[in-house]
Each structure stands twice: as structure tokens, then as C-alpha cells.
Amino acid sequence: MIRIIYIIFTIMIFSSCSERDKDNPFDPSGDVPLELKVLSFDKRIELTWGDPKVSDYSGFNIYRKQIGTDQTYKLIAERLLPSSRKFSDYYVNYQQIYFYYITITGNDMESRPSAPVSITPGPGINWVADRWGYQVLRMTYDAAHTISIYETSWPPGGIAVSRKLGIAVIIYPGNGIVEEINFAGIREARYEQIRYPMDIAYDSIDSLFWIIDSSGILFTLDTRIDQFSIISEEVGHPIAIEISGRQNLINVIDRE
């Protein structure tokens, strides 16, 4: 009986030590208790991470590698404060692939690297209207990372974005609703003046949103004063609208 208790006690000790070593980021075989996340906004790459699962540390180091230029990772941020949870890299170029990882520092030691993350920055961001998921997503230029998600009540049919006004306007063909949200994903307004909105486009010169109705009506929406205006009631059977050229030509595509 004494021998059995001794064996169980020994197993518990070794198990406890193994778990403790695994949680120690400065142990060569241990895990790094950090998850690095990456987003891009034009020529700025933003890295974020959570709280380390350790208490005895002094800061962080961040490493970067540019594909096609660097053979190895280079240290770009050293000894960031222990309270740091975000770092922005402004020294990047469009359409270049960048890899990053982070380490924890403390007691003149450095942890193993976190799992690397990669991103390709570029001009602007992507807005995606997901009809099946009832969502509008803001995604990075390379469409590999989601910035934010706006949950919709109906299947979104289209979206137009104004960086100048800092808003996006969503149309819902099945419900006759037009919705305005800001870049933080907060709804600013809802309009129900259009019965069957089919498509939408943004006029950056006049800061107007152009909307076509399946019944053949062409509208403009001025979100600055919450005003709809009927431009034409004889469009025919429109299925799409686009704005092109420096002269700001409004093209309506008719299915006939």
C-alpha cells in the first residue's frame, strides 16, 4: 500500500514540473504564451497581442522579414514596455509580403519566437457583403485578415464606401432597406424610401450615393442631410450601376 502511494505521488510531481516548464517562455522547450495578430491600413501594419501568461518579464522584441529582400528575420522593435500590447510598423511598401514574430524578454533572457504572422499591405481595404452569412466585413488589402464584422438583419445585396465621409451604405434588395454605418461598425441611419434597391455606387466628386431600383428609378442619397432625390423614373430594367471616368459618368446596366 505504501509503495502504491509513493508511485502516485512521484507521478504527480513530474507531471506538475512538466506543466510548469511548458508554461515558462524562457525554457528552450517551452511554449510562448502569446498570440500575435496583424492588420494593415494603407502603409501601416499594426501588430497586437494579449497579456502574457507569465508575470516575471520585462518587455517584448519584434522581428520582421520581407520576402524577396531579407534572408532572415531582423529586429525592428527592442525592449518594448511590459504594458505594450500594440506596435505599428510604418516602414513598409505596397504589395510586399511581410512576416513578423514576437518574443518575451526578462532576466537577460529571451523567449522562443511566437508563431509568425504574414500580411501584404496595399492601398485601401476591402468591404465584403456576405449574403449567406448576413454580414458586412472589413478586410485587409490582401483579404487575408478581418478588421471588423457588422452583423446584418437581412441578406446584404450591395455596398458602397466613402472614405471621405467615413461611412458605408448597404442595400437590402429583399427588404427595401438602405442602411448607413460608420467605419467602427455602428449604424448611423436607416432609410426605407426605396422599395427594391438593386445596386449602389458612390460619387466621390459630389459625395453622393447613387442607387437604382428594380422598378426603373434612379436615386441619389446625400447622407450629410439624409435626403433622397429621384433623378430618373425611366431607367428601364436596371441590374447594376457604376461610376467611371474623371467626368463622373453614371452608367446603368439594363438587363434588356
- The more confident residue out of 246 and 4 is 246
Quick check: helix, strand or coil at residue 134?
coil
Q: Are strands 59-66 and 74-80 parallel, antiparallel or unpaired?
A: antiparallel
Please report the pLDDT score of residue 14 as a whole number. Answer: 41
| Average pLDDT value for residue range 24-35 | 72
Q: Choose among 161, 162, 120, 163: nearest CA to 144.
A: 120
Instruction: Give the CA count within 13 Å in the CB-facing half-sphere of 31.
Output: 11
Q: Count of CB atoms within 10 A of residue 33's CB?
A: 17
Q: What percent of the chain has pLDDT over 90?
A: 62
Q: Assess whether pLDDT exceeds 60 at residue 236.
A: yes
Q: Assess whether pLDDT exceeds 90 at residue 156.
A: yes
Q: Assess whether pLDDT exceeds 60 at residue 130.
A: yes
Task: Please check whether residue 162 is in contact with residue 183, taking contact to mean a CB–CB distance below 8 angstroms.
Answer: no
Instruction: Give the CA count within 13 Å in the CB-facing half-sphere of 164.
Output: 11
- The more confident residue out of 28 and 131 is 131
Task: Please check whether residue 190 is in contact with residue 179, taking contact to mean a CB–CB distance below 8 angstroms.
Answer: yes
Please report the pLDDT score of residue 240 as a whole number. Answer: 83
Q: Assess whether pLDDT exceeds 90 at residue 168.
A: yes
Q: Assess whether pLDDT exceeds 60 at residue 212.
A: yes
- The more confident residue out of 121 and 245 is 121
| Average pLDDT value for residue range 172-190 | 92
Q: 46 forms bridges with which residues in the sheet? A: 39, 88
Please report the pLDDT score of residue 195 as a whole number. Answer: 85
Q: What percent of the chain has pLDDT over 70?
A: 84
Residue 88, all three cell numbers: 505599428
CA distances from 65 to 38, 92, 129, 174, 196 (A): 14, 11, 33, 47, 50
Q: Assess whether pLDDT exceeds 60 at residue 190.
A: yes
- The more confident residue out of 250 and 168 is 168
Q: Which domains does the chain have, with CATH numbers?
A: 30-119 (2.60.40.10), 126-254 (2.120.10.30)
Please report the pLDDT score of residue 226 as a whole number. Answer: 93
Please report the pLDDT score of residue 237 as a whole number. Answer: 74
Please report the pLDDT score of residue 55 as a whole number. Answer: 75
Q: What is the pLDDT of residues 70-123, one digit of tens each?
A: 999 999 999 999 999 999 999 999 999 999 999 999 888 898 899 999 999 999
- Rounded to two decimals, what is the model's pTM? 0.79
